[in-house]
Amino acid sequence: MTFIESIRRTVGRGAKTVEPDAEPTVTAVPAASQTAPGPAVDIAPTDPLFAYLQAAPGVVDAERLELESAALAELRAGGVKVIVPLVTQGELIGALYLGPRLSDQDYSTDDRKLLSTLAAQAAPAIRVAQLVREQAVEIQARERLEQEMRVATLIQQQFLPRELPQLHDWQVAAYYGPARAVGGDFYDFIPLPDGRIGIVVGDVTDKGVPAALIMARTQSVLRGEAPRLQSPAKVLERANEILLPEMPARMFVTCLYMILEPETGRVVYANAGHNLPYVRTADEVIELRATGMPLGLLPGMDYPEHEAVLAPGQSVLLYSDGLVEAHDPAGDMFGFPRLKELMAVERPGSDLIDHLLDELHGFVGRGWDQEDDITLVALQRTGGREVALADHDPEHAGERVLLKVSLPGAAGNERLAMDRVAEAIEPLGLEPARFERLKTAVSEAAMNAIEYGSQNDPAIPVEIEAVVVDDDLVVRISDQGLGGPMGEAEEPDIDKKLAGEQKPRGWGLFLIKHMVDAMEVTTHGTGQTVSLILHLKGVDDGSQSVQG
């Protein structure tokens, strides 16, 4: 009595290999229970036995076959005597391996005819079963992918801003258009102290749930660090260090982080490998140049910080590469020059975005398969006073600006002024005692400016500026002068104070003057500026003391 042993083999169309879970298994139960299980041999499409069986007219005698085949040698070693190819429509989809008959007699002609008939009937049925199984696997994989895309889309939508900031004298607009294969684009508006706004546009490499999760993590890190660190460069540096150990292989984040002072139009920004923003001025369209490595690639990265001022009527556009890298049916790319040209015409933020999208759709044509997410953030300054950067002011030529900020003239903001200056000058490495004395001087000067210059009115700002001029650190505190001009720093005399010959207050200027190396008071219109000067070289840090 013969038996048919279990078989498993790789099935191929040409050179294609089906995964093991999709391989066919042809099984027949042995007639005798004492029969040992037969060999499970994979025949690679490149093995000579594969081509031979595919072309064989019927049952193949394994012992008489002369081929240099690893699979054939393995079958012989397993006791296989004959091989019955399973062929349908000229394709080998499997084989039956038979060992010796229990009677030890050879397979007869009738046996071979029966096996050939069995193979001819079984092969189509097995192929149908294979196709059904492959289709089921494909449907399962497609459903899993679609579910991942739904999850990724949900993650992205949850982390996009629900509303845009409402800024006086500004129009803000944003657009996010996901591709069908969800990527990792994101944008955000982060409220900061003093009415400033942090603006973020970023892009995570890769697609699907992993990219969406990294996008969410990056956005959370930026939101957590931005209010604490204040500086765009420091925020990106910190985000890079946090994300580096968490970043999956072959994935990183490009990101541009910009802080806007709505009142002055000043923007401070740093870039981690993202597209450069475009600014439309009255005469031209320029790039806000800034460079830096993407987040999550290398440790210890520095991100140079830059400043610019948006004058009334000017616009800035932040965007992801889904716009400029879109292709038309001929394969041409939308490109940066085209975007720069479209920016040249003055349009409010929302109109600019609508115009760019109209031009994009006209460029790519009908039936466009969007390749990547598209993110656009546009801001236009519609009003307000114009402020020039100190770097571009002839009066302050040669200065290196460390800080330039406008604070509301509200009581208590002297502490904020002190903290902002301390943070900006920390990299200079001042001796601790001089550092603390300067902080005290800044706090006193800011308090005077708020109390006398702004009359404690939050709507009347106090300007704080820290610059390095040659070998000097200069901190300027400017007010609107509503309380009149500041007098000279009067030598304190307790007896005169008690006798009413000196004002109850007035020791502040004296204290400030003796906390720094020099103090200058200048007027500008009705306002005035107190300049606090520390020499950075040639000073005995331990020699200065407060006189009282």
The verdict on 523 and 420 lying in the same domain is yes
In tens, the pLDDT along 320-376 reads 988 999 999 988 999 999 999 999 887 777 789 999 999 999 998 887 878 888 999
Following DSSP, what letter does each residue of 425-482 receive, concatenated? Answer: HGGG---HHHHHHHHHHHHHHHHHIIIIISTT-TTS-EEEEEEEETTEEEEEEEE--T
- Give the integer Cα–Cα distance in Å for 94 and 86: 5
Q: Last residue of a domain, which of 327, 356, 381?
A: 381
- The single-letter DSSP state of residue 276 is P
Q: Are residues 361 and 261 in the same domain?
A: yes
Q: What is the pLDDT of residue 462?
A: 85
Tokens of 530: 């107190």
**Does residue 427 sit in the same domain as residue 364?**
no
Domain shared by 178 and 248, yes or no:
yes
- Residue 23's CATH number: 3.30.450
Residues 90/53, Cβ–Cβ less than 8 Å: no
The confidence score (pLDDT) of residue 259 equals: 96
CATH of the domain at 461: 3.30.565.10
Answer whether residue 154 is part of any domain: no
Let me know the angle formed at the C-alpha of 199 by 193 and 205, rounded to the nearest 5 degrees.
Answer: 140
Domain containing residue 359: 160-381
Length of the chain: 548
Report d(CA 43, CA 231) in Å as an integer: 64
Do both 233 and 360 map to the same domain? yes
Give the neighbor-by-neighbor strand order of the sheet with 527-535: 400-407, 462-469, 472-479, 527-535, 518-524
Question: How far, in Å, CA of 1 to CA of 46, rounded?
Answer: 34
Chain centre to alpha carbon of residue 39 = 53
Any domain includes 147: no
Residues 474 and 327 in one domain: no
**Residues forming beta bridges with residue 287, ordered by sequence position:** 278
Rounded Cα–Cα distance for residues 519 and 532 (Å):
5
Q: What total of structural domains would you count in the chain? A: 3
pTM over 0.75: no
Q: Which residue in 399, 373, 380 sits closest to 388, CA to CA? A: 399
Among the three residues 134, 169, 191, which one is the final residue of a domain in this structure? 134
> What pLDDT shows up at residue 8?
35
419-458 in b/e form (b: 16+ CB < 10 A) is ebbbbbbeeeebeeebbebbbebbbbbbbbbbbbbbeeee
pLDDT attached to residue 22 = 36
Identify whether the C-beta of residue 380 lies closer than 8 Å to the C-beta of residue 349: yes
306 plus 432 within the same structural domain: no
Q: Does residue 413 sit within a domain?
A: yes
CATH number at residue 207: 3.60.40.10
Reduced to 3 states, what is the DSSP secondary structure of residue 274? Answer: coil
Query: Is 315 found in the same domain as 222?
Result: yes
Identify whether residues 331 and 365 lie together within a single domain.
yes
Q: Are residue 226 and residue 307 in the same domain, yes or no?
A: yes
Say which residue the tokens 């207050």 belong to. Answer: 505
Closest-CA residue to 528 (of 458, 413, 448) = 448
CA dist 521 and 500 (Å) reads 26
d(Cα 363, Cα 202) in Å, to the nearest integer? 24
Cα 389 from Cα 377, distance rounded (Å): 24
3-state secondary structure at position 191? strand
Going residue by residue through the chain (548 aa), what tens digit of pLDDT does each one get? 333 333 333 333 333 333 334 333 333 333 333 345 556 788 888 898 999 998 888 899 888 888 889 889 889 888 898 999 998 888 888 888 888 888 878 888 888 888 888 888 888 888 888 888 888 888 787 777 666 666 656 666 666 787 899 898 899 999 988 776 556 788 999 999 888 999 999 998 877 777 778 888 898 899 999 998 889 999 999 999 999 999 988 889 999 999 999 988 999 999 999 999 999 988 889 999 888 999 999 999 999 999 898 988 899 999 998 899 999 998 899 999 999 999 988 777 778 999 999 999 999 888 787 888 899 999 999 875 554 444 344 444 457 888 887 777 888 888 888 988 998 898 898 999 999 999 999 999 999 888 888 888 877 888 898 999 888 999 999 887 765 555 544 554 545 544 555 454 445 566 787 889 988 888 766 678 899 999 987 655 443 333 33
Residue 204 CB neighbour total at 10 angstroms: 28
